[in-house]
Structure 1
């Protein structure tokens, strides 16, 4: 959600800024802009729409500079207009880009108006620009002005600031939103995501909560929340440029769906290499943290929340531990009964999801210190705030609709489940060997499911003209129905709902008619006969059924009942395999409807504001 890139160098940084913004497009945005210091003046170009439109304007206006900042905006305060787009400028001197939300912007706005500042936008961001300018007018350096200003802000922010009066310096600040500094040779960078600067450098410093930074061509200085100079570790990013390119695929979502066998294999590699479920997979002191827990609390949002719902079935059935799953944005605002022996598990693809981060902080404030993060981005905020961590190895995920992040989260949660069961004496050697063998075979089973794509694409043509769809599942496949409905609505804009199949008679059956396709997740498990009964209920009301069944489930096609058979039933890991066809259905339905698959309207990849 929103993106920042900044650069200071001896070369022209405008191409760096524009390429960086293009790399950040996947995060979701509705306008873009850059500002540079050139010939002792701040020059700016902004456009609503895609980065390419802003790029054309910058080229037409002959933008060149050695210092600049850029931004892709996802509208919060104020509509999608050029006047609300970033960067924002104060008095022609100072330009600023901002991710996040300032909660006390109205109070600051009134104060600054009283000081003579005029506002040209509806944004909370313009307040920050004027506030920093105010302190600069009192004689403060750009860094000190920034440090004084952020102490007066309530909310979340990542900031990058330039000033024509100091053309040798770029300053930045971070609170609640991701921001990093990239280190080059005679040039340095700031960005909200490493992908924005990957073509220039792989050496990065992840700013921590409350940090400010002063960046010049020659050096980077980082200061903590108390404005004390500190040393932050330098990391070398292992993100591949190839992972940011489409290759032979039409869309990143399609590419990432097909990358799942490799992503799953990479995520389970350490387990397979050890040939055991070991607590050390989660951290050096994991055994002491995990051994005597008496409950598990999972906190997540969106797709990650659905992964947590699957895990609840596993954790309670296999490990025998009570498990609760909460939407992070709800958990943080309810009165929680704390349990210090409970394991708090946070799940986030980006590791920067604000609601999940705040829920984790809330849990820790209640004395719940047994924390574990499942995340796809090393050194991101949530893993750093957690005692234990398991990194999924999905690689960069560009499409807004999560695919490979979801399935790798599932296998990470299954590994956690088996580890907890083993520590509690509920997993003997034979069972452990069986589960390990299931993990070994999982990438192949997922590949078999991917081979169903032509059949699923045929179904998608039937979905394209529809306005509503219903998804049904039972047991641990009900969350897969939820995920299928979410994917369909995210990228095809078809309204979709998911229910446990047993709930049909309690209301949703009233919606069923010939115009509402019904998708059923029907693996060959203990609930199959129940699901078959639910299908008959739908058929009796004229509903058209689309059933994802296992090869060995003996499901027959009939009038109004279409069946695609996924590979043979893979036991408790079946939700991972059944996630594949619902992803493909959403993707091909979106193709048929002509929507923007990778950048669906109104949505952002990384939700870093509340």
Structure 2
């Protein structure tokens, strides 16, 4: 996930682009860069780290021009560095890019055979070289872009300049967001609306396979085949705060709705479907090292601990290695048995969680290998681990975790497939089947989000309850825990998550007509057993809210509300069942009037023990 800003008009492009990048830095902050085109000459400035480093560089070596493109990056191909930062240049062509080019290695080899030389580790650089090659043949900038994009597979949003055509800016998209801003005699393009909102409120949204050419104060839209398109502008009526929130009432709701994109970004570039394998660019643990592991510890706190519990099911089932899950604050105080054949996997959204960092140091100190699942590039936990799997969720502003949690589940799924293939416990066909299901997940999360209206109605009915009980079984028990935690965090209603089979060993005494019971009951091997637990609740007057993917008369008759999810393999169902949990907690909290984004007594990153 990266941020793109482009400008063409009568003003100096540099301050406009930097201001836009500042508003998009949530989309990536391990490097940034800008290219301006002035008098037929392109000037490029790039810097590793946050945008402030680029601003400092521009103070020392300024660039200017009436046309420019800028980029803030979250690394996918190639480590965070100045040389891998965008924009990328080749033969008079300069490109910024968001997305993943899946066939970049094959294209790179072909271009090398044609004499092209590459300076970075990125997939983006091949786009510049590919356009350059077609431009040599056609001497037509637009045609070269169309031909080049016709050759690439994957996802992209691109903005492109050409030294030979200084009054022209081209942008196109496929699978990554791109928005056009229409000003008076000037035009803008960006990954998200807030980058342009201080300059214009007239926005045009590009669809997949569409391209825009900015020239002479006008803009022309077409598809990649060159067929002209008519595109109408929409007026965006957002306040500055609403712009930060993407038009949503709260950051939490915005982040709930960002989950399809966050999950797609976490998957992007890592799935080798044909081979049934996973590429984890930052893990830095060899296949030999991973295959030698005889035990896995997964260590985390709070919501991340719930992800860890799901990870235990994934790894034990598909990698056939024993897994222990520990709450980080307890791990080092029990003198855990760790050695060189032990892998400790830390999960932390911020990468700065004090208890998790202490557990990491305990495991390393005892000679174990350590890996992390983390959302923040170059955080303490990421730096001190032997390897890291980044979740490309982007910054999560709401204190109650949503998209960080579901991307952690996806990262654990990717790790389980990778480890299973390395250990030989998953064959190619099994790996391919799991990854085939994974690539459908973002669309199915979108379908789950369509339950929002029905869940809001249910929230109105249950907002007055003093207590909630959440029940799940197998890999849905952690989701029951997560659902209860979400409700506690933001609505201040007491809630408990329980294994469904344990209900009769105590919690059943709490059930009466005043207790809503959320039952997570996907159609898997334990479906009938959970239905039996649901019937026990119904028989005692409990108010049942069922979350399922299966139409069953018995379930419907005995439930007060049923939220129906799309079907997916059981290993990925916890991602889908998380969505109703988040929305139910959110809507109850809004109706109760609590501070959804900053609930009392909580902090986003817990940096003390």
The alignment's TM-score, normalised by the length of structure 2, stands at 0.60
Matched, 1:320 2:324: no
Matched, 1:607 2:606: yes
Which residue matches 2:338?
338
Distance 1:555 1:345 in 2: 41
Match of 2:56 among 179, 185, 207: 185
Which residue matches 1:459?
458
Distance 1:255 1:591 in 2: 14
Distance 2:191 2:330 in 1: 33
Distance 1:203 1:261 in 2: 20
Shift of 1:469: 0.3
Q: Structure 2: any 5+ residue segments left out of the alignment?
A: 1-21, 27-48, 60-70, 75-189, 196-241
Shift of 1:286: 2.9
Q: Secondary structure at the match of 1:185?
A: helix
Deviations 1:431-463 (A, max 9, x none): 111111111110111111000111111111122
Compared with structure 1, are the counterparts of its residues 557 and 279 closer, same or farther at alpha carbon in structure 2 (3 Å cutoff)?
Answer: closer
Matched, 1:409 2:408: yes
Which residue matches 2:376?
377
Compared with structure 1, are the counterparts of its residues 527 and 244 closer, same or farther at alpha carbon in structure 2 (3 Å cutoff)?
Answer: farther
Q: Secondary structure at the match of 1:513?
A: coil
Shift of 1:180: 9.4
Which residue matches 2:259?
260
Q: Compare 275-284 and 432-441 and name the one that shifted more.
A: 275-284
The alignment's TM-score, normalised by the length of structure 1, stands at 0.60
Q: Secondary structure at the match of 2:271?
A: helix
Distance 1:557 1:284 in 2: 49
Shift of 1:274: 6.6
Distance 2:372 2:559 in 1: 44
Q: Secondary structure at the match of 2:269?
A: helix
Compared with structure 1, are the counterparts of its residues 502 and 203 closer, same or farther at alpha carbon in structure 2 (3 Å cutoff)?
Answer: closer
Which residue matches 2:492?
493
Distance 2:463 2:291 in 1: 50
Shift of 1:428: 1.4
Which residue matches 1:481?
480
Matched, 1:362 2:233: no
- More RCO (CA 8 Å, sep 6+): 1
Q: Residues 197-596 of structure 1 correspond to what in structure 2 (within 5 A)?
A: 245-272=244-271, 275=274, 276-278=276-278, 280-368=280-368, 370-552=369-551, 556-558=555-557, 561-596=560-595
Which residue matches 2:29?
none
Q: Structure 1: any 5+ residue segments left out of the alignment?
A: 1-19, 25-178, 189-200, 205-237
Q: Is the 8 A contact 1:239 1:395 kept in 2?
A: no
Distance 1:483 1:279 in 2: 29
Compared with structure 1, are the counterparts of its residues 588 and 426 closer, same or farther at alpha carbon in structure 2 (3 Å cutoff)?
Answer: same
Shift of 1:283: 3.2
Q: Is the 8 A contact 1:286 1:388 kept in 2?
A: no
Q: Is the 8 A contact 1:471 1:482 kept in 2?
A: yes
Distance 1:203 1:313 in 2: 34
Shift of 1:555: 5.2
Distance 1:305 1:313 in 2: 13
Distance 1:290 1:537 in 2: 45
Q: Is the 8 A contact 1:316 1:322 kept in 2?
A: yes
Root-mean-square deviation (CA, aligned residues, Å) is 2.8
Distance 1:492 1:280 in 2: 38
Deviations 1:565-586 (A, max 9, x none): 1112432211111111100000
Shift of 1:271: 2.1
Q: Secondary structure at the match of 1:571?
A: coil
Deviations 1:187-235 (A, max 9, x none): 99xxxxxxxxxxxx9899xxxxxxxxxxxxxxxxxxxxxxxxxxxxxxx
Compared with structure 1, are the counterparts of its residues 446 and 427 closer, same or farther at alpha carbon in structure 2 (3 Å cutoff)?
Answer: same
Q: Secondary structure at the match of 2:496?
A: strand
Q: Is the 8 A contact 1:279 1:286 kept in 2?
A: no
Distance 2:567 2:284 in 1: 38
Distance 2:370 2:379 in 1: 15
Distance 1:246 1:273 in 2: 34
Shift of 1:551: 3.7
Shift of 1:292: 1.1
Q: Residues 123-162 of structure 1 correspond to what in structure 2 (within 5 A)?
A: none
Compared with structure 1, are the counterparts of its residues 274 and 540 closer, same or farther at alpha carbon in structure 2 (3 Å cutoff)?
Answer: closer
Q: Residues 24-39 of structure 1 correspond to what in structure 2 (within 5 A)?
A: none
Deviations 1:296-325 (A, max 9, x none): 100100000000000101111111110000
Q: Secondary structure at the match of 2:247?
A: coil
Distance 2:519 2:425 in 1: 32
Compared with structure 1, are the counterparts of its residues 372 and 186 closer, same or farther at alpha carbon in structure 2 (3 Å cutoff)?
Answer: closer
